[in-house]
Structures are given as C-alpha cells and as structure tokens.
C-alpha cells in the first residue's frame, strides 16, 4: 500500500520527513517520503518575498551590504555612471578598436541622421543633433559596450506619424517642434520611471513574434515613404498606409516623376545594396557597407553641384543649420494641451524605443558574454532623452545596423559612441554647408537600403514552423502597419500578444498519462505511444497554475477526459474507472477559485463513484489546500508524493502485471 500524506497537522509544519530506517524500503521499493507542508509565513513576509522576487530578483543591494558609508557612496555613483568604474581600467590598447569603430559608425550615421530627421518631419540638423548629445550621456550612464546611440528609422517614423496627427508641420512649424521636444522629454521620463520603479518586465508583453512583424511592416512603410524623394514627387500623401501611398505614387506618374532623380536614386541604391552584399559575403570587409552611404552622399552631392541638376527638378536638401545643439528648454511644455499630448505620444514612442534598445543590447551582450542590467539601461536611455529634449534632440535609442557595425569594427567600450559624437559635432561646426546640394534621392536610397534589414523573413518562417499563434501575432502586426498606420500596427501587436497570454492562462493544457513499461515513469500517452494506461485508473496532468480565470475550464476538461475514457471502456467491455489521479507537479499556484473547482470536481466524482487522488502538489499548492481544509475533505491518505505511489495504492495488481 502506498504511503500517504502525514496524518497529523504538525507534520505539515515540519516539511518533508521520512520514516525510520527499518521502514525505508518496502518489498516493492516504493517511496516512503510524504508530501510535506512548508513552514507557515505571516502575511507581511509572504507579501515582501513576492514583491522582492517581482521587482528585485537580481538583488541590487547585494554589492552594498557590509560596506562602509564612503564605499556605498562610491558604489552608488558608479551604479548611475558606470564609466567611473570601467573608465579606471580603460587601456590605451582598447582605444584603437574604439576609435576605428567610432569613425566607422559616424560615417554611417551622418547621412542616415539627415534622412531619419525627414522621416520625423524635422529639419535635417535635428537628426545630427540627436547623434551628438545623447551618445555622450549614454556613454557615461549605459552598461552596454556595443550599442550605438542615435535616431532610428522606426522611432522616427512613429514619432513623425503621431506628431503629424496633432499638428501640420508645414502650417505650424514652431508648434510642431515644441511638441516634438515635449514628447521626447516625456519619452525619457517614461523610460527613467520604468527603470527606477523596476518595471522593465512591462516591455516583455510585446512578444518577439509581434516585434518581428511590427519591424517588417515599419520597414515596408518607411521604404514606401521614401518613394517621394526617390521618384522626385512634390505633392505626396501624408498618410502612411500602402493604399494611400500607391495612389499618390501612380497619380503623379505623368507629371510628378523626375527621371534625373530616379536615375540618381536607382544607381546609388544599387551601389548601396552591392556594398551590403560584399559586407555579408566577407566579414572582414564590414567597413565597405559602413562607409558606402557617406561615399554616396559625397559623390551624388558633387555630381548635382557640377551639373546643377537641382535646376532640372532634382530636389536637394538645401540649407542645414551650422553649429552645435541650441538649447530647447523653453520649448518644452510642462502644462497645457501640448503637455498632455506630448505625454501620450512620449509614452508610446518611449516604450517602442526602449524595446528596440534593450533587445539590441541583450543580443550583443550575449555575443560577448557579459551581463546587461535592464533597469540600469532604462535609466540611462531615459536620462539621455530628457537631456536630449533640452538640447534640440528628438527621441534617440539603439540602432541595430550601427550597433552591428560597431560590434564588427572591434569596439571595446562605449568610447566608440564618444568618438562618433565628436565626429558629428565637427560635422555640425564645419561641414553642414557642404550638404546643401545633397539630393533627396540619395537620402531615400540610404534609408531604403537600411530598413531592408528590418525585414527578417527567416525569423518569420521560423515563427510559422514553431508556433502558428505566434505567427498570427507577427502577420497581424505586419498588416496593421502596412495597411493602416504605425500606431494601429503597434496596437495590434500588443493586443495579439496579450490575447495569446490570456488564451494560455484561461485554456491551459492538460494531458492523459500512461506508464512506460518496466518503469515507474508516467508520461503523456500522445507524446509516448508506448505508454500504457492503468486499468481502472485515469491519470490526468494539469500544465498550469489553477486560478479563477481557468478553474472551471480545468474541472470541466478533467471531467471530459473521464467521460471520454468511460465511453471507450464501455464500448470495449473493459472495467470502469474507479480512480482519477491528478498529477499536480506543474501546478505552481492555486487560488480560492481553484480550490472550489477541486471541491466541485471531488463532489462530481463522488456521484460517479470515482475516487479523486492528488499526486505531487507543490509547496504553495499543498499549503493552500490545507488552509482551505480540502485535505480533510479528500482525505489525507489520498495525497501522494508521486504518481507511481498513487497508482501502487490504487491498483497494485495492475502494477504487478505490468
């Protein structure tokens, strides 16, 4: 006969116990251990432990324990400014790699920044401003060694779209600029708040599949938006959906397209794609696609200048203001309608920027085998955007393309960001007038070639193969962005991700278990066809916590398993089911609704003359069942440590025959 749960309440409070050594093994080697109850905790300790595990699982105060006050102060300053820690150990030998990496990503970011600013409907210099101040702040406060900071395509498009929904930049340029800085400020505040409050887990609600679809959709939308500059169209739709864009493109085919512009765009797009191909084919030539955009700008600008193609309808950048970032503190609205609108836009854009930066940082940290503190990253990213909003910058984050180049160029620390920032500063001070004749077509070609890398068809195919529901989230986000708008696509991505969580919570998996011959192991009969059912016993495993959201479903699903099994046995003239064993090892938690569901299940089985037995309930579950007195209802001799013990108690003859 199998050994049951402790007969006296005291045994619950002392944890797992064993019988005397003389009784440790029976003739059948069955377990002599009993299901134990963990020591009781008061409400405060239970609540504090849960809060600590949720928000402070990494134990951020550990380095400060048993330290003198002066040391705690130093460690506290180093926590917010990691450069004071790794800077002390910085070697001159590392500077060569950081210098080369910084110069390389600077050559890539300068032309991209000018184009990305246009995506946000801002003047070109604001893109360059955003690659000057924020990287310096991040270099001092960030913990990633590889991430390259600046404006990125997706965030620029999203910010521009949300801002244009509120203000038309062609009619109210000053108000548009003020709202952009206000939104950037609140994006930074959102990011810092998430870091300080240790709420970084909130960004995990946007699943990988949804991000893949959203990024691909944004890439298509961004590329379509570039058709204005690529084809030389002057009157272009302000909508971002593919239908509106195609109508605008083909509506201008007879009078709006400029063949010289198209020639420039096609030629340099082909050059940029060829340079990318060379970089992928041979990793040592990573610098070729990195300098190709700047080289394209120089050549195309010189070509337009000597041919004066701008007088033939080729649209050019015209004037880029000279000088470093002016102050924009007085343009940020802290009260009024602009503040409310800026806050709403800033929260959305800040979350998207945060998701992209954290994903990029973790990717490269894993490659170099170092740890990235997500909450510290949020504080760093938020701080740089708050300061950026006061120095004429818009929302900055980590760029995947530039970070990849930074990584391949051999960067060692965030000094590469400082080098890039210095180069951008020198560009703003001395070189910006030279960009006057840069054709818009080359900027469009640079952006198109850059965003093509956001379309990860291999990841989408893998998602399709692995999880069809994940693919629905991926494709839903993609079509939402392409056929509606960026914010609608983002909303669909979040909604489908949350719907998937709710579906998994409300409809958990259950499985029918059988015995693997000549073992005491019980496994899913669908996964292991050789697993045999035990006559007179039905074994069901619940693969989820049992909460109010799924308790009724779990009870009904178990009863359906029983009904289906009884019908099959009756059709084959086999003995009926006398015992229902519920394997509870995957049940990590249970609430009062779950306990009531088990009580209802027990009562329903009693009417059918079927005995309910529980196997291997976890510490939290057995404690709650005991407090709810369910262990007294079912009988403490009906709770077993393993399924094997339970089966030996119910059907010893069947085990012997097996």
CATH number for the domain including 620? Answer: 3.30.750.24
CB atoms < 10 A from the CB of 234, how many?
A: 11
How much is the pLDDT for 33?
Answer: 63
Residue 1 domain-assigned?
no
Same-domain check for residues 21 and 53: no
pLDDT tens for residues 344-377?
A: 999 999 999 998 898 888 888 888 888 888 888 9
Residue 445 domain-assigned?
yes
Residues 6+ apart with CB under 8 A from 611: 578, 579, 580, 605, 638, 650
CA distance 475 to 209: 9
Residue 525 domain-assigned?
yes
Same-domain check for residues 133 and 271: yes
Same-domain check for residues 125 and 222: yes
Q: Which of 444, 475, 502 is the last residue of a domain?
A: 502
How much is the pLDDT for 34?
Answer: 67
Residue 4 domain-assigned?
no
Residue 3 domain-assigned?
no
Q: Angle at CA 487, nearest 5°, toward 483 and 489?
A: 45
Q: Which of 57, 80, 103 is the last residue of a domain?
A: 80
Domain tally for the chain? 3
Same-domain check for residues 489 and 548: no
Q: Which of 474, 502, 530 is the last residue of a domain?
A: 502
Same-domain check for residues 590 and 486: no
Contact 545, 593 (CB under 8 A): no
Rounded to 10 deg, the angle between the 208-225 and 486-506 helix axes is 170
Same-domain check for residues 284 and 159: yes
CA distance 61 to 375: 14
DSSP state of 197: T
Same-domain check for residues 112 and 150: yes
Residue 123 domain-assigned?
yes
Same-domain check for residues 15 and 68: no
CA distance 212 to 454: 8
- What range does the domain containing 71 cover? 43-80
Pairing of strands 537-542, 510-515: antiparallel
DSSP state of 532: B
Residue 433 domain-assigned?
yes
CB atoms < 10 A from the CB of 263, how many?
A: 13
Same-domain check for residues 56 and 170: no
Contact 384, 414 (CB under 8 A): no
Same-domain check for residues 260 and 359: yes
Of all helices (H) and strands (E), which one includes residue 397?
strand 397-399
Residues of the chain with pLDDT under 70: 1-34, 36-38, 41-66, 653-658
CA distance 561 to 581: 12
How much is the pLDDT for 189?
Answer: 97
Phi and psi based region of residue 443 (left: phi greater than 0; alpha: psi -120 to 50; beta: remaining): alpha
pTM: 0.81
CA distance 309 to 303: 8
Our CA dihedral for 160, 164, 168, 172, rounded to 10 degrees, sits at -60
Backbone angles phi, psi at 367, to 5 degrees: -65, -35
Pairing of strands 510-515, 522-524: antiparallel
Same-domain check for residues 417 and 523: no
Of 218, 615, 293, nearest to 456 (Cα)? 218
Residue 278 domain-assigned?
yes
Same-domain check for residues 280 and 340: yes
Of 388, 443, 358, nearest to 116 (Cα)? 443
pLDDT tens for residues 249-283?
A: 998 887 789 999 999 999 999 999 999 999 999 98
CA distance 60 to 65: 10
């Amino acid at each position: 006969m199998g050994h049951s749960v402790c007969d006296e309440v005291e045994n619950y409070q002392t944890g797992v116990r064993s019988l005397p050594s003389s009784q440790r093994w029976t003739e059948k080697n069955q377990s002599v251990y009993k299901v134990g109850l963990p020591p009781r905790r008061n409400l405060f300790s239970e609540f504090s432990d849960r809060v600590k595990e949720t928000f402070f699982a990494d134990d951020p105060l550990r380095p400060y324990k048993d330290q003198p006050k002066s040391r705690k102060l130093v460690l506290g300053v180093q926590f917010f400014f990691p450069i004071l820690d790794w800077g002390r150990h910085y070697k001159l030998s590392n500077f060569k790699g950081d210098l080369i990496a910084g110069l390389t990503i600077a050559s890539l970011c300068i032309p991209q920044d000018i184009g990305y600013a246009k995506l946000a409907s801002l003047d070109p210099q604001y893109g360059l401003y955003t690659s000057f101040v924020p990287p310096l702040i991040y270099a001092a406060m960030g913990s990633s060694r590889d991430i390259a900071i600046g404006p990125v395509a997706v965030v620029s498009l999203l910010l521009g779209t949300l801002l244009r929904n509120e203000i038309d930049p062609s009619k109210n340029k000053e108000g548009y600029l003020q709202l952009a800085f206000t939104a950037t400020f609140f994006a930074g505040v959102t990011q810092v708040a998430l870091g300080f409050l240790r709420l970084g887990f909130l960004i995990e609600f946007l699943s990988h599949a949804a991000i893949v679809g959203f990024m691909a959709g944004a890439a298509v939308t961004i590329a379509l938006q570039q058709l204005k500059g690529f084809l030389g169209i002057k009157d272009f739709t302000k909508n971002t959906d593919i239908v509106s864009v195609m109508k605008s493109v083909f509506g201008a085919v007879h009078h709006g397209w400029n063949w010289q512009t198209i020639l420039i765009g096609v030629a340099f797009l082909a050059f940029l794609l060829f340079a990318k191909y060379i970089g992928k084919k041979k990793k040592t030539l990573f610098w070729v696609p990195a300098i190709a955009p700047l080289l394209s700008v120089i050549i195309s600008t010189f070509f337009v200048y000597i041919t004066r193609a701008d007088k033939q309808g080729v649209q050019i950048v015209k004037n880029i203001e000279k000088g470093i970032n002016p102050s924009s503190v007085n343009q940020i609205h802290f009260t009024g309608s602009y503040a409310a609108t800026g806050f709403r836009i800033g929260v959305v854009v800040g979350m998207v920027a945060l998701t992209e930066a954290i994903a990029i940082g973790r990717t490269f940290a894993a490659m170099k085998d170092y740890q990235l503190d997500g909450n510290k990253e949020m504080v760093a990213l938020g701080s740089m955007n708050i300061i950026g909003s006061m120095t004429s910058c818009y929302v900055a984050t980590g760029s995947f393309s530039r970070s990849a180049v930074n990584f391949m160029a051999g960067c060692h620390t965030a000094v590469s960001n400082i080098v890039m920032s210095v180069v951008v500063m020198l560009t703003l001070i001395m070189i910006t007038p030279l960009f006057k004749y840069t054709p818009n077509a080359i900027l469009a070609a640079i952006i198109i070639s850059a965003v093509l890398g956001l379309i990860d068809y291999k990841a989408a195919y893998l998602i399709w193969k692995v999880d069809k529901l994940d693919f629905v989230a991926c494709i839903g986000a993609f079509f939402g962005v392409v056929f509606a708008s960026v914010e609608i696509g983002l909303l669909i991505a979040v909604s489908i991700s949350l719907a998937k969580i709710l579906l998994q919570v409300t409809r958990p998996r259950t499985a029918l278990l059988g015995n693997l011959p000549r073992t005491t192991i019980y496994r899913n009969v669908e996964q292991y066809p050789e697993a045999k059912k035990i006559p007179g016993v039905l074994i069901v495993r619940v693969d989820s916590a049992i909460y109010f959201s799924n308790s009724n479903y779990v009870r009904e699903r178990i009863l359906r398993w029983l009904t289906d099994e009884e019908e099959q046995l009756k059709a084959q003239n086999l003995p009926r089911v006398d015992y229902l064993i519920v394997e509870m090892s995957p049940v990590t938690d249970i609430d009062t609704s779950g306990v009531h569901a088990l009580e209802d299940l027990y009562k329903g089985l009693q009417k059918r003359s079927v005995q309910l037995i529980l196997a291997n309930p976890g510490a939290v579950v057995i404690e709650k069942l005991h407090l709810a007195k369910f262990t007294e209802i079912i009988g403490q001799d009906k709770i077993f440590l393993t399924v094997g013990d339970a089966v030996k108690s119910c059907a010893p003859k069947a085990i012997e025959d097996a």
